[in-house]
Amino acid sequence: MTILYNNSLQKATFFLTGFQGLEELHVWISIPFCSIYLIVIVGNLIILHVIRTDVTLHEPMYYFLAMLALTDLGLCLSTLPTVMGIFWFDAREIGIPACFIQLFFIHTLSLVESSVLLSMSIDCYVAICNPLRYSTVLTPARIVRMGLSSVCRSALLIFPLPFLLKRFQYCRSHVLAHAYCLHLEIMKLACSSIIVNHIYGLFVVACTVGVDSLLIFLSYALILRTVLSIASRQERLRALNTCVSHICAVLLFYIPMIGLSLVHRFGEHLPRIVHLLMSYVYLLVPPLMNPIVYSIKTKQIRQRISKKFEFIKSPRCFRQD
């Protein structure tokens, strides 16, 4: 393949990669990916619709769930055009400006998801450890500020990355290993020192995902201490049951992230398809599973969704006056 390059950054091109060596099967491989994207979009839109239309769900817990659904939806839509473009149309070329824009949204939304999970852990902590002050601590205004601060923190920390990458000359191969753009992968294509990018990338991870995960762990340590002090076994189980959905969401976010980091760091000898699959698991599994987990484990959400489908199936839905 001939790699196109022009000294002008705006005319430079990166080449995305699907499943190398399986190009003839891309149409068939696209079927499960298309199904996953469809489930992610429909599932998160249903969660958002149910929370928006049902007044009884206008509570802090469900506001945070709506934030999580919006973040997952945005993350899904950030990768969908390039992933499905490769599978359906073999559209591998992406301009560097477009690549940097996609990179910005992928990394920003990943950090926002970490922040939202922290906010949800705070919600669980207040609900269990200080229930009498729940409505006064988590007011609508404070929830809005928490959401905005999550977005602002993530966007401001990721904003310098495209400019740090823009200063490089990309004299090596312009072929990326994935069907979307990531900071770590692009900076490896630079032919000059990338130490600043490395240090800044570690700083961003440490002060976002690192701090968030530590605070989530601390909140659950305090929750566990409070739960164990409850005399009634039934009340202890009921208190813990309110956190099950959030614990699942945390595990769905952090386990693929840790797995992907370990594969990148220690898995150089592993087949390339393992790296690809882990990257797709990291980006697609949390948005796919979060609405399913919350629909199954959260009684109020499950009941509201059931009522919506019962109404759709009802003859009254199709009756004309």
- In terms of DSSP bridges, do strands 13-15 and 93-95 run parallel, antiparallel, or are they unpaired? antiparallel
The answer to whether 297 touches 243, Cβ cutoff 8 Å, is no
How many angstroms separate the CA atoms of 189 and 311, rounded?
54
What's the CA angle centered on 67, arms 122 and 49, to 5 degrees? 130
pLDDT in tens, 7-52: 444 447 899 999 988 889 999 999 999 999 999 999 999 999 999 9
Q: Two tokens at 27?
A: 């149409």
DSSP state of 109: H
Percentage of the chain with pLDDT > 90?
Answer: 68
How many angstroms separate the CA atoms of 169 and 174, rounded?
11
State the pLDDT at residue 312: 66
State the pLDDT at residue 319: 56
DSSP per-residue string spanning 43-107: HHHHHHHHHHH-GGG-SHHHHHHHHHHHHHHHHHHHHHHHHHHHHHH---EEEHHHHHHHHHHHH
pLDDT means per 10 residues, the chain with 321 residues, are: 42 84 91 96 96 93 96 96 95 93 96 97 94 93 96 97 90 85 89 91 94 97 92 85 93 92 80 89 95 91 85 58 46
Domain definitions of the chain by residue range: 14-303
pLDDT in tens, 128-176: 999 999 999 999 999 999 999 999 999 999 999 999 999 888 876 788 9
- Provide the CB-side half-sphere exposure for 263 (13 A, CA): 19
State the pLDDT at residue 114: 96
The answer to whether 85 touches 184, Cβ cutoff 8 Å, is no
Using DSSP's 3-state secondary structure scheme, residue 123 falls into helix
CATH-assigned architecture of domain 14-303: Up-down Bundle (1.20)
State the pLDDT at residue 154: 97
State the pLDDT at residue 239: 85
